[in-house]
Structure 1
């Protein structure tokens, strides 16, 4: 169903508690399905029985088979393991013999295990399906109702944005801040991916959190209670692995709650290597040298083709962080990256004052920056005493600021054809910025980008030209900060998102 045609959402949550295993409790399963159809997001809690594998969440019914304890759980060593196995074997045999698995669990057993899941999910209503479940819920001090009684109540939180869960180069956090500061709309980001150096993030998830159903249920509760819009980076989930780990898995539950969704892409997550080869002369995908880069190109070829098919079917807005990606998603809206002008202040030394200027290149991914194509030129210029070349990798953000501020020339992209975060940071710091920004990209930006144009073939000539006319290069660099303030201080980013957020 198209997003705009979704019915008004209840946003309510219901927990169905059964003392019988999921496969054995037809009444509990039917009640979970009824609640789902009524508009609830549903948690179905049931004890594990035998060696059955836990069922995955399916369209808003989160099935959790809890591990019910025994008196031997606190015993150490072999005694605990043997004793527990004996107790569970006896219970399972008794349940089968009675044809009533619920008879194998006490209310205390069930209550001890379901408590953390109910606390995380914070259901509006708890439905119990038999006496043991009713007693277990009562032991937790929670009210319960019988099947067929619960009906959802509408909830209408104020407009609020959640961005996740990539936070590539810290941009998810920066965009959330931009929306708060410039649009006046509450916004947060979530980061699942780990980076070599820390970026700010409103919600951080370790790998262990991402696969933990208790953590995931907490994310569902928070999202349904507080979020009206979700911006998925790279098609990634925002509810952990609870629904499957991809945003497509989360989408049914979000849409049923009336949460509007959009997609955001950063680069390699949507950029087609084949299309890039057609459009850009120096495309890194044309003839990768190393086996690693050849394998990466093939992986990206497959992943981006698959993602493109899904994007074509997706009926919500799509945003891209750099203008070149409009080649891949023509209907996308440019969401400019953000440079923190309070952090990226101008260096104390004007650029090109030193006789031998310092040239900095800080490739996050050398293959995508064209580092191998430009470094022979830079080493040759350095050997002639014309420049001092510094290549930086895996450097903390706080340290990177000082290094860039002390540089004279900063080099960024040379094969992809766009400009990104590093170029903006260099311009904000008042440095001479040199990069290969394709004309098709420059034409999509409604102002002259104050970055001197050079490609791998012309880089030596361009740098020698800068050294021959330093005043001209300094004049271009002097306009960089104003350009960043106009397009990359967060205001344009908030403006790009605002029609969707207020629509």
Structure 2
């Protein structure tokens, strides 16, 4: 079986989950991460830094049959590795995750509620993509939301859904007899997730409905998951127009999810997406509807679990990833 090298940034535990999934299918998959956060995902990859990675660069790349980069970065600063890897004939793919390529200025012309500035300006994003695509022909994104920003650069763009190990998560469906549902919101970025709109809706509902609300932040992943398990309603991001890993984990745990899904993106998802779409204008009424209807909360939780198993489970996603790798490797033969 081939050997794949993942580097250099772990986003939301995805690199580790993909590596473990590839190993389950007999591939040799090694991951190296230099981006460390308070989330502390339990991940089967090597935690390192840019200096250490530079010193093991040569043996790692020579042993790899394909190199899978993440988040618009490569193993050496200023993309110094790309000419060397191209000269070696190493097949490569870049996995873009969101704000590394999302042109917020362009997107905000179409959004009623603008997203905050990214950590890269649009000019910086375009310059990075121009450089990357000189050496890398293939890119991966989690869904169609990012397609418009990278399609002009790469020869082929693949969509690979976010991945979760559903077998490791037992569903805990909302109790229809619970008179005081727990609503959970977990912003890693308040501005991007729309937290002020979420909490405005929550404050407006307190005088009319009985419920609990928990905001999850600055908490490691294991502790956060214990709160998701107890939740009756999970609110993800309400401005971007697509859903994130919180939605996927919550669906896998059997929870009804609220997130803003852009009308133009909904047809691009596989199957009927069981996420309640709500933007800042409609959030309050949609949260109220779920508070008032425990039967619907449970039904959506069950639909979400099935959706996660069918489209986001490790086995399903990794098989798609292997097909992507096989296409890329075949091109190099």
Could you tell me the TM-score, scaled by structure 1's length?
0.60
1:180 & 1:425 partners in 2: Cα distance? 22
1:229 & 1:312 partners in 2: Cα distance? 16
For 1:339, the equivalent position in structure 2 comes to: 164
For 1:205, the equivalent position in structure 2 comes to: 48
1:491 & 1:439 partners in 2: Cα distance? 29
2:13 to 162, 170, 174: 170
For 2:55, the equivalent position in structure 1 comes to: 217
For 1:282, the equivalent position in structure 2 comes to: 113
For 2:90, the equivalent position in structure 1 comes to: 259
2:36 to 183, 191, 194: 194
SS in structure 1 of the partner of residue 213 of structure 2: strand
Structure 2, unmatched stretches of 5+, are none
Which contiguous aligned blocks of 4+ residues in structure 1 show a shift greater than 6 angstroms?
A: none
Q: How far off is 1:299 after superposition?
A: 4.0
Q: How far off is 1:418 after superposition?
A: 0.7
Per-residue Cα deviation, 1:79-138 (whole angstroms, up to 9, x for no partner): xxxxxxxxxxxxxxxxxxxxxxxxxxxxxxxxxxxxxxxxxxxxxxxxxxxxxxxxxxxx
1:439 to 263, 272, 279: 263
For 2:228, the equivalent position in structure 1 comes to: 404
For 1:487, the equivalent position in structure 2 comes to: 311
Q: Is the 8 A contact 2:211 2:291 kept in 1?
A: no
1:260 & 1:297 partners in 2: Cα distance? 29
For 2:68, the equivalent position in structure 1 comes to: 231
Q: Is the 8 A contact 2:255 2:297 kept in 1?
A: no
Q: How far off is 1:350 after superposition?
A: 2.7
SS in structure 2 of the partner of residue 305 of structure 1: helix
Q: How far off is 1:176 after superposition?
A: 1.6
2:271 & 2:102 partners in 1: Cα distance? 24
Q: Is the 8 A contact 2:99 2:118 kept in 1?
A: no
Q: How far off is 1:352 after superposition?
A: 4.7
Higher RCO by CA contacts (8 Å cutoff, separation 6 or greater): 2
Q: How many residue pairs were aligned?
A: 322
For 2:81, the equivalent position in structure 1 comes to: 250
2:306 & 2:231 partners in 1: Cα distance? 19
2:242 & 2:14 partners in 1: Cα distance? 17
Q: Is the 8 A contact 2:243 2:259 kept in 1?
A: yes
Q: How far off is 1:180 after superposition?
A: 2.4
Larger-gyration structure (1/2) = 1
Task: Check 1:364–1:352 CA distance in 2 against 1; reply closer, same or farther (3 A cut).
Answer: farther
1:416 to 229, 236, 240: 240
For 1:467, the equivalent position in structure 2 comes to: 291
Structure 1, unmatched stretches of 5+, are 1-157, 286-295
Per-residue Cα deviation, 1:304-345 (whole angstroms, up to 9, x for no partner): 232333355455111012331113223521121111223332
Could you tell me the TM-score, scaled by structure 2's length?
0.89
1:337 & 1:447 partners in 2: Cα distance? 15
Matched, 1:271 2:102: yes
For 1:328, the equivalent position in structure 2 comes to: 149
Q: How far off is 1:467 after superposition?
A: 2.9
Q: How far off is 1:363 after superposition?
A: 0.6
Q: How far off is 1:279 after superposition?
A: 3.6
Matched, 1:180 2:17: no
1:379 & 1:219 partners in 2: Cα distance? 52
